Chains A and B, each alone.
Chain A
Amino acid sequence: MDLDPDDVFRDDEDDLENEFFQERESTKEFVVYLIDASPKMFSTTCPGEDQREETHFHIVVSCIAQSLKTQIINRSYDEVAICFFNTREKKNLQDSNGVFVYNVAEREDLDRPTARFIKEFDQMEESFQKVIGSQYGIVSGSRENSLYNALWVAQGLLRKGSAKTADKRILLFTNEDDPFGSIKGAVKSDMTRTTLQRAKDAQDLGISIELLPLSRPDEEFNISLFYADLIGVEGDDLALVLPSAGHKLEDMKDQLRKRLFTKRIVRRISFIISNGLSIELNTYALIRPTVPGTITWLDSVTNCPLKTERSLICADTGALMREPPKRFQPYKNENIKFSTQELSEIKRVSNGHLRLLGFKPLSCLKDYHNLRPSTFVFPSDKEVIGSTRIFIALLRSMLRLKRFAVAFYGNPTHPQLVALVAQDEIVTAGGQIEPPGMHMIYLPYCDDIRNVEEHHSDANAVPRATDDQVKKAIALMKRIDLKEFSVCQFANPSLQRHYAVLQALALEEDEIPEINDETAPDEEGMARPGVVNAIEEFKLSVYGDSYDEENAHAGNGKVSEASKKRKAVAENAVKESANYDWADLADNGKLKDMTVAEFKYYLTAHNLPVTGKKEALISRILTHMGK
């Protein structure tokens, strides 16, 4: 029952039929985090939260720790290695100076992250100076070149696997824009040249090198001094690599975090604007619900994984059979048969592309026109030159005229009418908040929309708020205003809990850490006098004196009735249950001679479920008694 780890990233409508539209993707990612550990990384600080200064080294390490935690949840098949350079100690297969490959027990240097790896890396910083140590690796007078060594070690780590099946990346974190600045003359040019050649060799082997520079407070990271050549950026991408002007810690963290993950194209589609004019688009799944990973069934005796075997049995004859080629739908007292080809033919109402139908003002897109998470589209000139230009022109027009495009997306398995909503780029000091492009919103059909409100209609006019009541509501709204609210600022408490439990169990810890439910309302804020007053005023204006009456009426009345009864039953059960010596009965095997009604006394008295067959009740009682 193993599932492809990438499934989480795919659109759910993804299918094999469509595979040929898309670029063959690498299935795995191998990443080496190459972290500069020179004294400069420790001496440079940024003002963090609570006015505390945090070192660049700390920023990098905490970002990586964060991303490892995300990775083990989302893409645990990807492999990582963490490698420091400019270190005092050395630990690497090549035995190069100034390079330390960080690892934990039971794990290869480049491997999937494990619970222990994450946990120990979290605490690594405290013992860093003692165990690994920080030391400049490039000093004048010696021909040592720690950056060169680091690249060589990283390349060595990434030898695993073929470049065809895995994306290989080196992410280089540093705040030194001129690594050979302290060296002069021929040695410098020599070192520069050999280092660049080493980087180029790595790139020629299909390894991409990405730079994540950290700017010092007093001066910008000057990428053109050395690193532009090393990472081989072209003009267009340079802007993305360059750190922005912000030096705030949070911004820097944001920037780093965002760049740790590569984009994955879900599909390459063509967007037909009119007959004979179609442009090339890539689709990306930027927003998809993250769910707890799939379950692997184990044998509870041996803890060995199980595989599920499915067999098909003819209900009429009991014969084992293969996957039948036909399906049927009962209709008019008959079974109407369809072949699988026919079914896919029915679904093929369009040619698989995105087809423009026209434009509408944004006000036509209602809040309830939604079914699934949207898909992001971004143009590409890779196959059709000129696509991007047309896309940009349309996007700008749509933004200016406040219109969205209606198109038909002829996905073979799930063809759908979609709205393309233009999104302008939004950039803050922390980097790109919203990328420029269009979001494809899947529109419902008429049968997908329910007119619930009409079921609540009345022959007469229904009560409406008066202007005064609306005014009170406005006053209330102003009091409870989330000014800084941004979508997805909350972590999913259920997932957090899930993985906290898993991590604790995986590491065989006794205690399961408490997680903080960020989604809980701000009780303190709500208790502020201003807020309480505004709420009270609104309440009074809407309900008058009838609030308690209206809210108590149905709810409390009913509940108290039922709960009274339940309470009485429970009390009785406790009384009755006390009449038996359960431990004795259990020890002498007399339980099976008793009645279900008697068991229920025990179960109710101990707040256990009372459902099930007699055997189930007995075993429940025994379990509860610890026998």
Chain B
Amino acid sequence: MQFVLTDWMPNNQIFCCSSFYMLVKCLLYLKVLYGYQEGLLLLLDVGPSMHGVLPQVEKLCSMLVQKKLIYGKNDEVGIVLFGTEDTRNELSTQLGGYENIVVLRDIKVVDGDLIENLTRIPRGTVAGDFLDAIVVGMDMLIKKYGETNKGKKRMCLITNALCPIKDSDAGTKEDQVGLIAMRMSALGMKMENIVVRGSLSGNANQRIMDENDLLLDLFSKKSSVKTIYVDSPTALLGAIKTRNISPVTIFRGDLEISPNMKIKVWVYKKTAEEKFPTLKKYSDKAPPTDKFATHEVKVDYEYKSVEDTSKVVPPEQRIKGYRYGPHVVPISSAEWEAVKFKPEKSVKLLGFTDASNILRHYYMKDVNVLIAEPGKPGAMIAVSALARAMKEMNKVAILRCVWRQGQQSVVVGVMTPNVSEKDNIPDSFFFNVLPFAEDVREFQFPSFSNFPVSWQPNEQQQEAADNLVKMLDLAPSGKGETLQPEFTPNPVLERFFHHLELKSKHPDAPVPPLDGTLKKITEPDLELLAENKSIVDAFRRQFELKENPKLKKSTRRLLREKPSGSDERNGDDNVSDALAINSIESKPVTKVEKIGDLTPIQDFEAMMSRRDSPDWVSKAIEDMKRKIFNLVENSNNGDDYSKAVELFVALRKGCILEQVSLSLSPGFPFATDNCAFVVNFSPSAKLGKLLCLDIQLSINFRKFFLVQEPKQFNEFLSRICKFCQEQNLGSFCDLLASKELSLVTKSEAIDSDVTDDEARSFFVKREPKYED
């Protein structure tokens, strides 16, 4: 390898002799001044060991260029390949050497051809020398820009750095790297080295790898060179910032520790979401022959009175109305200006607190970074001291910030230390916005310990979960972390740009499927799953999931209610008979839909007290009657009589209660037989109106009245007595009589026609007949 410094100023000579070139130079200078042009050179290793990852390299570089075509149309890009069979570069023709390096494209403004170049990168045949490539690239950048374009000259090296660097006559490799790095920083050149390693490097020579890594590391130390190691195709796709955004401060000023101590800081955004591009609306109205049609759509707003839509109000006649409950308060901007909250621009320390006081999920927004103002050694040391102290003590700082003068709000947030591991990068702070009291909704959730045992994991299950959490590891020690946000591309944007490129060739191209490399972001890694198959299977075995069968048939409305328990009631699950007898008074946990055999009384009472439909009462009574009848009829020598009597008691009570609970309702003080009467009865017309509105409720009552429970009971009692007589089961009637279970009387329930005397004589009347 040759290394010649003298040859590097050809432009200057030309510059001196021609005024035309001076003009060009001036234009170039202007461009630099306005800062919209970046000169980027891609140095791509295409040697045989790289072939496996070249498809990702192609995608990465295409993406980079595509974004430039949209966001940085004036940027200039060149491509240098190394590890090629051929040699085609200026340094080689001028000086010899620099073999196996091909300039695929000179540095020029981005265009569609560039993407063509990048989608079909020719594969090389020999091991590439990345140091040679860097020298060739530097030479090209210098020839193109000379001293200008400082900070905007960039090289991007993508290699696996597995191949040995050739020795040279001009000193050791380390010396050369030192020289190049020095020269690069002098010229304001930047470089990113993407080193493809890990599982992608195959069986490489460890010695060469270490030596190369050392050289690359030397670069990083000496100049603004960044070296990134990636170990998966996915991370490779995310290795370069494909969109160049120059950092802009959102605040420059004092970080006030106290009124007496202020540290000069600059604040930038550390994270900011790159949004999906906002596409313009397309108008197809222009005739196809119109070559200059913009196809754009303008949006026009008109303001019309809500009451009179024919009246158009000019924009300046509008006034802002702010909602306060049902009110809309009109406030002119001048008025508002006078009264609004106007904090002074400042960043003030409120104090320090334990890091554990600030839980991670309270971070509200994208993140800022606070960094000492360049050229202020005192501020740098102050930031460094505080950051290191905070890290050591595990503390964070709480700040109150007003970034801009005239900003109408303040933010309170947490400042955390960002201690740099590199000597040439200053320490700084991260800043995250915290919520205000108004921003937090303190919902209550049940404690897990309050959940039923069937929801708690047992020991084996917990162990299976432990294993899963331990082994499904995305950051195994010794290997690199996968899906690191820093190296994870946005699959949606990748797909959009891919589709955009396809459409530029075939306007009807369908949406491409998600790339396999990108699927690693949206789906679990199959390899990782395969490695841990036994653990995943064990986890699956330990836990059982089943669909809630009751939900299938239910409507959405039912989802809101407590799950119906009726299924279980009728099933094998024994509901304890020890349930409170008087279950009308205890809240039924489940909604009973029929009277079962196990707890007929409770079922009956639960049904009687249901108010979601008036039909339940009559159904309960019908069911109960049937049940009693069956018991009496099928009883063997009266052994079920006592049970039947119990049911009888419940039925009687239920029928009376039903009547009573209606009568007691306020607003229906003496409820009788229909709702029209209730309305007439109401003390004021207003109340009447209200009740009329409540049609649903009234209808319920109507239905209850029509059923007339006490009458039903009385009829049933007569029927069963008659039945007993006919079937010669008189002992049951005796039993009823002994329990004084006679007809329901008018004094018990207003709806009954039976007098007390009639009730008392009910069984007496029968007796003679019985004696007959």
In the complex, whether A597 has a CB less than 8 A from a CB of chain B is no
Q: Is the CB of B474 within 8 A of A357?
A: yes
Can you name the residue of chain A whose Cβ is closest to the Cβ of B545?
A386
Question: Taking A236-B446, A299-B313, A456-B425 as contacts, is the C-beta distance between A349 and B491 under 8 angstroms?
Answer: yes
Interface pick from B6-14, B347-355, B593-601, B632-640: B347-355
Interface pick from A132-140, A392-400, A577-585: A392-400
A297-B318 Cα distance, complex, nearest whole Å? 6
Can you name the residue of chain A whose Cβ is closest to the Cβ of B508?
A337
In the complex, whether B464 has a CB less than 8 A from a CB of chain A is yes
In the complex, whether B89 has a CB less than 8 A from a CB of chain A is no
In the complex, whether A284 has a CB less than 8 A from a CB of chain B is yes
| Contact residues of A between 141 and 160, Cβ < 8 Å to B | 148-149, 152, 156, 159
How far is the CB of A200 from the nearest CB of chain B, in Å?
A: 6
A285-B269 Cα distance, complex, nearest whole Å? 25
Q: Is the CB of B282 within 8 A of A447?
A: no
Residues of B contacting A338 in the complex (Cβ-Cβ under 8 angstroms): 279, 499, 503
In the complex, whether B260 has a CB less than 8 A from a CB of chain A is yes
Q: Is the CB of A450 within 8 A of B559?
A: no
| Contact residues of A between 83 and 127, Cβ < 8 Å to B | 93-96, 111-115, 118
Q: Is the CB of A115 within 8 A of B324?
A: yes
A247-B69 Cα distance, complex, nearest whole Å? 67
| Contact residues of B between 128 and 173, Cβ < 8 Å to A | none
How far is the CB of B657 from the nearest CB of chain A, in Å?
A: 8
Residues of A contacting B697 in the complex (Cβ-Cβ under 8 angstroms): 159
Q: Is the CB of B359 within 8 A of A487?
A: yes
In the complex, whether A50 has a CB less than 8 A from a CB of chain B is no
Bits for B281-311, please: 1 = Cβ < 8 Å to A, else 0. Answer: 1111110001001111111111111110100
Q: Is the CB of B279 within 8 A of A329?
A: yes
Question: Taking A296-B328, A336-B504, A349-B518 as contacts, is the C-beta distance between A491 and B279 under 8 angstroms?
Answer: no
Other-chain contact of A293, B69, B285, B322, B351 (Cβ < 8 Å): B322
In the complex, whether B690 has a CB less than 8 A from a CB of chain A is yes
A234-B525 Cα distance, complex, nearest whole Å? 43
A503-B296 Cα distance, complex, nearest whole Å? 45
Q: Is the CB of B438 within 8 A of A452?
A: no
In the complex, whether A131 has a CB less than 8 A from a CB of chain B is no
Can you name the residue of chain A whose Cβ is closest to the Cβ of B433?
A289
Bits for B513-548, please: 1 = Cβ < 8 Å to A, else 0. Answer: 010001001111100110000001001100111111
Interface pick from B380-388, B734-742, B744-752: B380-388
A302-B296 Cα distance, complex, nearest whole Å? 37
Residues of A contacting B331 in the complex (Cβ-Cβ under 8 angstroms): 501, 505
Question: Taking A159-B694, A435-B443 as contacts, is the C-beta distance between A328 and B279 under 8 angstroms?
Answer: yes
Q: Is the CB of A389 within 8 A of B457?
A: yes
Other-chain contact of A488, B261, B285, B362, B586 (Cβ < 8 Å): B362
Other-chain contact of A372, B365, B436, B521, B586 (Cβ < 8 Å): B365
In the complex, whether B507 has a CB less than 8 A from a CB of chain A is yes
Residues of B contacting A301 in the complex (Cβ-Cβ under 8 angstroms): 317
In the complex, whether A246 has a CB less than 8 A from a CB of chain B is no
A601-B177 Cα distance, complex, nearest whole Å? 64
Q: Is the CB of A453 within 8 A of B262?
A: no
How far is the CB of B196 from the nearest CB of chain A, in Å?
A: 16
Interface pick from B32-40, B209-217, B405-413, B720-728: B405-413
How far is the CB of B756 from the nearest CB of chain A, in Å?
A: 19
A370-B257 Cα distance, complex, nearest whole Å? 26
Interface pick from B100-108, B118-126, B392-400, B622-630: B392-400
In the complex, whether B568 has a CB less than 8 A from a CB of chain A is no
Q: Is the CB of A347 within 8 A of B276?
A: yes
A340-B359 Cα distance, complex, nearest whole Å? 40
Q: Is the CB of A434 within 8 A of B359?
A: yes
Residues of B contacting A506 in the complex (Cβ-Cβ under 8 angstroms): 324-325, 327, 329
Q: Is the CB of B296 within 8 A of A315?
A: yes
Residues of A contacting B385 in the complex (Cβ-Cβ under 8 angstroms): 465, 469-470, 472-473, 538, 541-542
Q: Is the CB of A192 within 8 A of B585?
A: yes
How far is the CB of B530 from the nearest CB of chain A, in Å?
A: 12
The interface size of chain A toward B, counting residues with CB under 8 Å, comes to 247
Bits for A309-322, please: 1 = Cβ < 8 Å to B, else 0. Answer: 11111111101010
| Contact residues of A between 61 and 76, Cβ < 8 Å to B | 70, 72-74, 76
Residues of A contacting B55 in the complex (Cβ-Cβ under 8 angstroms): none
Question: Taking A258-B444, A355-B522, A384-B548 as contacts, is the C-beta distance between A343 and B587 under 8 angstroms?
Answer: no
| Contact residues of A between 568 and 627, Cβ < 8 Å to B | none
Question: Taking A390-B545, A408-B521, A410-B522 as contacts, is the C-beta distance between A294 and B294 under 8 angstroms?
Answer: no
Question: Taking A397-B469, A435-B445 as contacts, is the C-beta distance between A307 and B306 under 8 angstroms?
Answer: yes
Question: Taking A349-B491, A497-B341, A535-B260 as contacts, is the C-beta distance between A229 and B586 under 8 angstroms?
Answer: yes
In the complex, whether A38 has a CB less than 8 A from a CB of chain B is no
Other-chain contact of A115, B276, B325, B462, B548 (Cβ < 8 Å): B325
Bits for B353-370, please: 1 = Cβ < 8 Å to A, else 0. Answer: 100011111111111010
Residues of B contacting A483 in the complex (Cβ-Cβ under 8 angstroms): 353
Q: Is the CB of A310 within 8 A of B301?
A: yes
Q: Is the CB of A382 within 8 A of B559?
A: yes
In the complex, whether B19 has a CB less than 8 A from a CB of chain A is no
In the complex, whether B768 has a CB less than 8 A from a CB of chain A is no
Question: Taking A204-B612, A398-B469, A542-B381 as contacts, is the C-beta distance between A70 and B299 under 8 angstroms?
Answer: no
Interface pick from B91-99, B479-487, B641-649: B479-487
Can you name the residue of chain A whose Cβ is closest to the Cβ of B422?
A457
A512-B340 Cα distance, complex, nearest whole Å? 11
A391-B330 Cα distance, complex, nearest whole Å? 50
Residues of B contacting A551 in the complex (Cβ-Cβ under 8 angstroms): 254, 262, 264
Q: Is the CB of A93 within 8 A of B523?
A: no
Can you name the residue of chain B whose Cβ is closest to the Cβ of A326?
B282
| Contact residues of B between 699 and 757, Cβ < 8 Å to A | none
Q: Is the CB of A443 within 8 A of B325?
A: no
A554-B376 Cα distance, complex, nearest whole Å? 10
Can you name the residue of chain B whose Cβ is closest to the Cβ of A432?
B444
Q: Is the CB of B270 within 8 A of A368?
A: yes
Can you name the residue of chain A whose Cβ is closest to the Cβ of B556?
A24
Can you name the residue of chain B whose Cβ is closest to the Cβ of A25?
B560
Bits for A472-484, please: 1 = Cβ < 8 Å to B, else 0. Answer: 1110110011110
In the complex, whether A187 has a CB less than 8 A from a CB of chain B is no
Other-chain contact of B423, A372, A401, A461 (Cβ < 8 Å): A461
Can you name the residue of chain B whose Cβ is closest to the Cβ of A302?
B305
Residues of B contacting A293 in the complex (Cβ-Cβ under 8 angstroms): 322-324
A189-B584 Cα distance, complex, nearest whole Å? 12
In the complex, whether A58 has a CB less than 8 A from a CB of chain B is no
Residues of A contacting B353 in the complex (Cβ-Cβ under 8 angstroms): 481-483, 485
Other-chain contact of A336, B270, B297, B379, B503 (Cβ < 8 Å): B503
In the complex, whether A564 has a CB less than 8 A from a CB of chain B is no
In the complex, whether A562 has a CB less than 8 A from a CB of chain B is no
A393-B540 Cα distance, complex, nearest whole Å? 13
How far is the CB of A443 from the nearest CB of chain B, in Å?
A: 5
Q: Is the CB of A456 within 8 A of B371?
A: yes
In the complex, whether B571 has a CB less than 8 A from a CB of chain A is no
Q: Is the CB of B357 within 8 A of A485?
A: yes
Q: Is the CB of A93 within 8 A of B687?
A: yes
Residues of A contacting B408 in the complex (Cβ-Cβ under 8 angstroms): 494
Can you name the residue of chain B whose Cβ is closest to the Cβ of A317?
B285
Q: Is the CB of A328 within 8 A of B295?
A: yes
Interface pick from A39-47, A175-183, A517-525: A517-525
Besides A288-B441, A382-B548, 20 new A-B residue pairs in contact (Cβ under 8 A), listed by A number? A159-B697, A194-B661, A234-B589, A278-B545, A287-B440, A298-B320, A301-B317, A329-B70, A360-B474, A370-B271, A373-B435, A385-B546, A386-B544, A447-B493, A453-B420, A456-B426, A490-B437, A492-B436, A493-B409, A542-B385
Sampled A-B contacts (26; CB under 8 Å)? A23-B560, A73-B438, A228-B587, A239-B446, A263-B444, A274-B529, A290-B439, A300-B319, A311-B301, A313-B298, A329-B500, A337-B503, A342-B511, A358-B524, A360-B473, A393-B461, A408-B521, A432-B447, A434-B359, A449-B486, A481-B351, A485-B353, A490-B412, A492-B437, A501-B339, A522-B350
Top 5 A-B pairs, shortest CB-CB distance: A327-B279, A465-B385, A473-B389, A439-B361, A435-B445
